[in-house]
Amino acid sequence: MTEFMNQDFLLTTETARKLYHEVAADLPIIDYHSHLQQGEIAARKTFRNIAELWLAGDHYKWRLMRTAGVAEEFITGERSDQEKFRAFCKVLPLAIGNPIHHWSHLELRRIFNIDLLINEANADAIWEQANARLATMDTWSLLEQAGVEIACTTDDPADDLLQHAQIASSALKTRVLPAYRPDKAMRINQPRFIDYLQRLGQVSSVSVTSFASLIAALAVRVEFFHSRGARISDHAVDVTLPVAGATPAQLEALFAKRLQGTLLTDEENGLYLRGLLEAIGRVYANYGWTMCLHIGAQRNNNDRMRAKLGPDTGYDSISDMGTSAGLASLLNALDQDDRLPKTMLFCLNPNMNEVLSTMVGNFQDGTVAGKLQFGPAWWFNDHKEGNLQQLVGFGNHSVLGVFVGMVTDSRSFASYPRHDYFRRLVCRQIGEWVHGGEYPNDFEALATIVRGICYDNARKYFQL
């Protein structure tokens, strides 16, 4: 029987072990999509205890605790931090097969050098030891200890990025770069959409009174973000994209309708989103940016709990919406005049893995290795089987050696051991192919692939 999470955890062959320990383990981290708060980095935030670091705002853990029968008062309620931590430790042993069980133990070992099992009996000892260590740490030391070379935050086009400027001029070794996420411009039916247009207009010096002026204002902000180091945009595609795009006149009519106070229908919303992505995609191409499309989330499903706790509190799931025809049409429209930017397709529905991993092959043009990428296992797919399926799908349908690797997609400064988890799985899968006689046991070639996936490719691809 193998020891729990020993040094060769997840590494099933000698090739995998050699690749991990000699190549992958100590590579720097490029986290090109996270939800870290730049203000917490700029201020060198400290954490009062491990509960704040681990549980505050972490909807992954909140979902686990609710499912295990923990009352909301021990999750987002008024119970003390230590009571919440004890409640988490009590139920974590039930989560066999859940990556949070592995991640939490990796975090405990790598961040705090604590090798205890996380359970009810050890909760108080972990609390004391972790808090003693945490008292000497802040957001900077967490990033630097994890070996994070570059971390990209998620920023609204109207943000002034002043905190990014503070970080850039500081002594922090990690480069913290903004990433451009225009959700508020995309979600045309949101109650504060028109208020947002006014704010966007103010910061861009463009009066946003039409669809064309909206794109002009967003383009001004792309230029501003580019000057501050941004090279990546991020878009949540949560509605079905139409196969036929709207004409400029139709887009202006839809925009005018919303300015007059009328919400768009679902069909009209899809047309608007398609038009916005097509227009802003051309802007990204001008700057050499990468457009990331996160596809397949069904968000905020529980109305009762949303009214109580707000959005993004752990009530999201996978959508089964149709995507391929509209997505192909969008990419084709951009490609027609050679204005398709580098694009990553993140897939939340594993049933769409082959759809998206084959879609990227339709628009490769040889200008950039892996110009279009099937993105890493994301959110509900970010577990052992999900990562292995993504790697196999990428390998089956594309060129795995150009893959740019994983992201944390996390708000937590403790999440970086997930990169260790991913790297072990990369080495595991490659080792299995070699062990099965499906690839030569050429260590130099294998090491080049592993270094590329874990570090080199992202730096080149995103021009960081």
Residue 1 has pLDDT above 80, yes or no: no
Percent of all residues in the chain with a pLDDT value above 90, rounded to a whole number: 98
Residue at 141 is within a domain: no
Q: What is the mean pLDDT of the chain?
A: 97
Residue 448 has pLDDT above 90, yes or no: yes
Q: What is the mean predicted confidence (pLDDT) over 288-306?
A: 96
Task: Give the model's pLDDT for residue 266.
Answer: 94
Q: What is the mean predicted confidence (pLDDT) over 121-141?
A: 98
Question: What's the number of domains the chain is made of?
Answer: 2
Pair (93, 207) in one structural domain: no
For the segment 166-202, what is each residue's pLDDT rounded down to a tens digit? 999 999 999 999 999 999 999 999 999 999 999 999 9
Residue at 169 is within a domain: no
Instruction: Look up the CATH number of the domain holding residue 319.
Output: 3.20.20.140
Pair (236, 348) in one structural domain: yes
Instruction: Look up the CATH number of the domain holding residue 88.
Output: 1.10.2020.10
Domain boundary among 351, 383, 415: 383
Residue at 462 is within a domain: no
Pair (202, 347) in one structural domain: yes
Q: How many other CB atoms are there within 10 angstroms of residue 399's CB atom?
A: 13
Pair (105, 189) in one structural domain: no
Pair (131, 183) in one structural domain: no
Separation between Cα atoms, residue 153 and residue 306, nearest integer Å: 25
Q: What is the mean predicted confidence (pLDDT) over 146-154?
A: 98
Q: How many other CB atoms are there within 10 angstroms of residue 76's CB atom?
A: 21
Q: Indicate if the alpha-carbon torsion angle 439, 444, 450, 455 is positive or negative.
A: negative
Residue at 37 is within a domain: no
Pair (93, 239) in one structural domain: no
Residue at 306 is within a domain: yes
Half-sphere exposure of 120 (CA within 13 A, CB side): 4
Pair (354, 259) in one structural domain: yes
Pair (303, 204) in one structural domain: yes
Pair (267, 370) in one structural domain: yes
Pair (225, 351) in one structural domain: yes
Pair (125, 227) in one structural domain: no
Domain boundary among 101, 136, 171: 136
Residue at 396 is within a domain: no
Task: Give the model's pLDDT for residue 321.
Answer: 84
Domain boundary among 74, 104, 136: 136
Residue 169, Cβ density class (10 Å: 0-12 exposed, 13-18 middle, ≥19 buried): exposed
Q: What is the mean predicted confidence (pLDDT) over 148-156?
A: 98
For the segment 300-359, what is each residue's pLDDT rounded down to a tens digit? 999 999 999 999 999 999 999 878 999 999 999 999 999 999 999 998 999 999 999 999
Residue closest to 345 by CA, chosen among 354, 333, 335: 354
Task: Give the model's pLDDT for residue 323.
Answer: 81
Question: What is the domain extent for residue 91?
Answer: 49-136
Task: Give the model's pLDDT for residue 425.
Answer: 98
Pair (54, 184) in one structural domain: no
Task: Give the model's pLDDT for residue 260.
Answer: 97
For the segment 395-438, what is each residue's pLDDT rounded down to a tens digit? 999 999 999 999 999 999 999 999 999 999 999 999 999 999 99
Residue at 223 is within a domain: yes
Residues in the chain: 464
Residue 276, Cβ density class (10 Å: 0-12 exposed, 13-18 middle, ≥19 buried): buried
**CA dihedral of 228, 186, 42, 229, whole degrees rounded to 10:** -20
Q: What is the mean predicted confidence (pLDDT) over 88-109?
A: 98
For the segment 69-92, what is each residue's pLDDT rounded down to a tens digit? 999 999 999 999 999 999 999 999
Residue closest to 405 by CA, chosen among 429, 433, 376: 376
Residue 33 has pLDDT above 80, yes or no: yes
Could you give the angle at the alpha carbon of 109 between the alpha carbons of 105 and 113, nearest 5°?
A: 150
Q: Is residue 293 very low, low, confident or very high in pLDDT (cuts 50, 70, 90)? A: very high
Distance spanning both ends of the chain, measured CA to CA:
44
Q: What is the mean predicted confidence (pLDDT) over 90-102?
A: 98
Q: Where do we find the tokens 């150009």?
A: 402
Separation between Cα atoms, residue 289 and residue 398, nearest integer Å: 21
Residue at 258 is within a domain: yes
User: What is the distance, to the nearest Å, from the Cα of residue 407 to the centroid of all Cα atoms in its chain?
Assistant: 5
Q: Is residue 137 very low, low, confident or very high in pLDDT (cuts 50, 70, 90)? A: very high
For residue 196 the two structure tokens come to 């947002």
